Amino acid sequence: MSISPCSPPGQHASSSPSPRPKKPPLIWDHFEALPSTAQQGKCKACRMNVSCKYNTGNFVRHLQLAHKDIYRQYQNKIGSQWTR
């Protein structure tokens, strides 16, 4: 099973076979999955519900605009994982 970019950790969006499951995007470290819908997450910093209908771009944008310090930490984490 593969994970859609919007799928929260532990939830799979499709059932296509893959050799190993993908890790959820790192952005989910800053958001909680809402049990009522797989298309929204709740920001852990301000508790705001943010939509992720097609991808997690709104999560990134929310951090960039509302939580600049957390967004910088996220960018550094992404950068460090990219170079491995």
Residue pLDDT, tens place only, 15-59: 556 688 888 899 999 999 998 877 899 999 999 999 998 899 999
Structure confidence at residue 11 (pLDDT): 65
DSSP letter at 6 equals: T
Give the amino acid at 11: Q
| Burial degree of 6 (CB within 10 A; 0-12, 13-18, 19+) | buried
Query: Of 41, 46, 7, whose CA–CA distance to 23 is shortest?
Result: 7
